[in-house]
């Protein structure tokens, strides 16, 4: 018997990146997976390529679409006890240049969409007396970098929402989140297209590489599973060590060390 046999799972933003890797990982363990994305063609294509999956066209900013999605999953799978809120959008620009439309778009997708999907799924989990929710936050929700104020604020909200859910819905529903660092996804495509730009970032990562979508999917699958039966309200950082405190002198110290080593 596989880990998630008979469990209905919703994965938002499931057509690509971390969402696609997560959908495939859960399906491989027997879950019945709804690949949910506003990219309908991508969602349907992925659903056809993995076992026991369906694709659903859904924009998480639209609560009517969310309600219809959950109703479809319950009707087709007879279960809706796993939820991975992965849908997200990003942007980089100085705070004073973020207009109202962009601010609301970033919060509506990243934060409100996560809340709305949780609100729709929780009654079914409570009725079944079992459920696991994993929200995709970001390292930026814990330690923002320059020019991502709106995105970081939304992701910090996801972390707070996760903790609130864990407090309110135990013991039958567990709610956790992951906080990825630099992961190879469509959101980081610009860095992948400019290796010289990414090199200084890579050098600051203790594991010396950009993470993969599968790296994050593995952690999400763990949080969904009974192996994490006593884990709730937590944020698991998946960043290769990038977020560890650094003094900002690593490059200079490395150069000095290399110089003195060369001198014998």
Residues that are catalytic: 151
Q: How many CB atoms lie within 10 A of CB 260?
A: 9
Paired tokens of 263: 């001198």
Give the list of residues 6+ apart from residue 88 with CB closer than 8 angstroms, or none. Answer: 13, 109, 110, 136, 138, 187
In three-state form (DSSP H/G/I as H, E/B as E, the rest C), the secondary structure along 73-112 is HHHHHCCCCEEEECCCCCCCCCHHHCCHHHHHHHHHHHHH
The arrangement of strands across the sheet holding 235-238 comes to 53-57, 32-37, 8-12, 82-85, 131-136, 173-180, 235-238
């Amino acid at each position: 018997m596989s880990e998630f046999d008979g469990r209905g799972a919703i994965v938002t933003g499931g057509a690509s990146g971390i969402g696609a890797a997560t959908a495939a990982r859960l399906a491989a363990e027997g879950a019945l997976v709804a690949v949910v994305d506003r990219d309908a063609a991508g969602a349907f294509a992925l659903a056809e390529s993995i076992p026991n999956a369906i694709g659903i066209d859904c924009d998480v900013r639209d609560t009517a679409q969310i309600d219809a999605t959950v109703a479809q999953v319950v009707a087709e799978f007879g279960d809706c006890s796993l939820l991975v809120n992965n849908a997200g959008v990003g942007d980089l620009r100085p705070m004073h240049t973020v207009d109202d439309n962009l601010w609301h778009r970033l919060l509506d997708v990243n934060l409100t969409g996560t809340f709305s999907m949780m609100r729709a799924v929780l009654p079914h989990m409570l009725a079944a007396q079992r459920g696991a929710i994993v929200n995709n936050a970001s390292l930026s929700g814990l330690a923002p970098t320059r020019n991502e104020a709106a995105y970081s604020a939304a992701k910090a909200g996801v972390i707070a929402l996760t903790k609130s859910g864990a407090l309110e819905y135990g013991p039958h529903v567990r709610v956790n989140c992951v906080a990825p660092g630099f992961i190879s996804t469509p959101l980081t495509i610009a860095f992948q297209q400019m290796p010289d730009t990414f090199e200084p970032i890579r050098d600051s990562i203790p594991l010396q590489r950009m993470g993969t979508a599968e790296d994050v999917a593995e952690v999400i699958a763990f949080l969904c599973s009974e192996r994490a039966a006593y884990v709730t309200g937590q944020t698991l950082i998946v960043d290769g060590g990038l977020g560890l405190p650094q003094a900002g002198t690593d490059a200079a110290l490395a150069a000095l060390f290399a110089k003195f080593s060369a001198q014998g």
